[in-house]
Each structure stands twice: as C-alpha cells, then as structure tokens.
C-alpha cells in the first residue's frame, strides 16, 4: 500500500507523509523489502496508523536512520529485532503490542537518536542474551512510559550525552533487575516511578537511584526534555455531553487476576 500523500494545501505537504493500514512497506515512498521498513529520508516526517509488521527472521524490521517516524497504534510479532534508531533518528511509538521471541532484542537505540515508547506492551521472552531495550553510546533521549515489558532495559557505553526516563514502566516479578546501567561517564537516568510486580506483595515502587539531580543536589524526577515528544500530543479535551451519554476514559490501566476486573454500569 502506497503512503497517502498530503494535498498541496497542507502546511506540511512538502515534508510529511501519512500512511494507514496493515503491513505497510516503503522506503521514501517506494517498496524496498517485503518484510522490513527502512526510513532514511531526513527531510520527511512519517506517520503510520494501525501499522503491523511481523516475522522478519533476520535483520531489523523497522529501521529509522536520520528521519522522524511516529507510529500511532500497531501490532507485531516474531521479529529478529523490531526497531533500530540512530543517525539522528526521532522515533515515537504509541499504543503498540509486540509478542514472541526477539533474539536481537525489541529495540536498539544507539548514537544520536530520540526514542519514545508509550502505553505499549512488549511480551518478549525474559532473560534473553540480548535485552529488550538496548541503549548504547546514546547522544539524545530515550523515554519508556507506561509500558508493560517482560525483559529488561540496558544502557551501556558513553553516557555523557544520554538522557533516559522510565516512567510508569511495569514488569512481572523476577529476581533479576529490570534495569541495568553500566555507562561511563554515567548517563542522566530516572526510573523513580517504575512499579515491578512482586511475587507476593502486589506492586512495589522502585527506589530512585539518586544519580539524577539538579545542580543544587535536589533529585531530578525527569531528565530534561525527556518526555517532551509525547507530552506535546495530548488527548482530546473533555466536553459537555447529554445526561444520557457516558464518557469513560481509561489511561494506562492494567487489571488482571480478578473475578471481575472492571465493571461499568449505567
């Protein structure tokens, strides 16, 4: 399916491309590979909606090099590696589902890059040789927000220019750490509100690691600008509705293990 190009009246017609559908495959508007998506047009901003990509047995399923890509909802499974972002890439993933093995991890973010993942599920095998999220020699920002994962996040290499935020991240209880930071110099990291499930005590708030601070020594809750790309995309505002109409919104809710987890009545 070819991407839908904006009309000439669009204010971003010259540099923005939209596509909607399942298993959309293109490189700068042209079919490149039947199982992978490679975006290398630095002058374009790509937006994909209801995007599916699966069963790329080798290589990277979606690779973003020096481009801007936003995915609004999607699903994928069985990829060797699902995402790679580098060379000045800007990648935003919202409302995604992934499941299955990930031999090379789910996402590889390295070098100059900005990566945000929000309100998503990564159901990969735990304790693989390669972590779900591998962040290496980062020059930029990574934000993993309100996302349910099964494996771990690692940061390695030179962290002098790295800013990493984990906000509302959830993982089932495991003995191993969900987060590993071996950067030197140390990256600017905050995972102060991560809530891993405990085997017998419900959810636990992770202790802030204390390494992310303002210049005066006060703890910094969020690395500078780390959540900016997703906070600039707010939900539609609440409006007045007739008395007989309900407006029920659930934001980043996870419920499980109950006889009736959620009941909504008139």
pLDDT, tens only, 30-61 = 334 444 577 766 667 888 988 989 888 888 99
Beta bridge partners of 89: 113
Which pLDDT score, from 0 to 100, does residue 18 have? 55
Beta bridge partners of 52: 75
Tracing tokens 């690395």 back to the chain, one arrives at: 223
Could you tell me how many residues make up the chain? Answer: 266
Specify the pTM.
Answer: 0.71
CA separation for the pair 73, 56 (Å, rounded): 19
The overall average pLDDT reported for the chain is 75
DSSP secondary structure string for all residues of 168-198: S-EE---SS-SEEE--SSPPEEE-TT--PEE
Query: Which positions ≥6 away from 125 have C-beta within 8 Å?
Result: 101, 102, 150, 151
Which pLDDT score, from 0 to 100, does residue 217 have? 44
- 192-221, pLDDT tens digit by residue? 545 555 555 455 555 444 344 444 444 444
Which pLDDT score, from 0 to 100, does residue 81 have? 94
Which pLDDT score, from 0 to 100, does residue 167 have? 84
Tracing tokens 């290589």 back to the chain, one arrives at: 59
Q: Which residue has the higher pLDDT, 97 or 7?
A: 97
Which pLDDT score, from 0 to 100, does residue 259 have? 84
- Domain regions of the chain by residue span: 16-231
- 124-156, pLDDT tens digit by residue? 988 778 999 999 999 999 999 989 999 999 999
């Amino acid at each position: 399916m070819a991407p839908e190009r904006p009309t000439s009246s669009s204010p971003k017609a010259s540099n923005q491309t939209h596509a909607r559908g399942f298993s959309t495959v293109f490189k700068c508007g042209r079919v490149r590979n039947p199982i992978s998506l490679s975006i290398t047009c630095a002058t374009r901003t790509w937006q994909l909606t209801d995007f599916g990509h699966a069963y790329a047995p080798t290589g990277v399923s979606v690779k973003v090099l020096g481009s801007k890509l936003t995915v609004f909802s999607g699903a994928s499974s069985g990829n060797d590696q699902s995402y790679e972002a580098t060379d000045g890439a800007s990648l935003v993933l919202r409302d995604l589902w992934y499941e299955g093995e990930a031999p090379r991890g789910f996402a590889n973010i390295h070098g100059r890059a900005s990566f945000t993942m929000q309100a998503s599920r990564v159901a990969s095998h735990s304790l693989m040789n390669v972590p779900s999220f591998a962040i290496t020699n980062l020059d930029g920002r990574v934000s993993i927000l309100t996302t349910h994962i099964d494996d771990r996040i690692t940061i390695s290499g030179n962290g002098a220019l790295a800013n990493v935020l984990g906000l509302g991240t959830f993982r089932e209880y495991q003995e191993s750490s969900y987060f590993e930071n071996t950067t030197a110099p140390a990256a600017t990291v905050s995972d102060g509100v991560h809530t891993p499930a405990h085997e017998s005590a419900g959810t636990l708030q992770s202790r802030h690691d204390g390494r992310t601070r303002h210049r005066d020594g006060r703890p910094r809750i969020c690395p500078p600008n780390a959540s900016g790309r997703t906070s600039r995309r707010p939900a539609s505002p609440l409006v007045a509705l007739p008395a007989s109409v309900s407006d029920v919104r659930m934001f980043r809710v996870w419920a499980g293990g109950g006889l009736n987890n959620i009941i909504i009545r008139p």
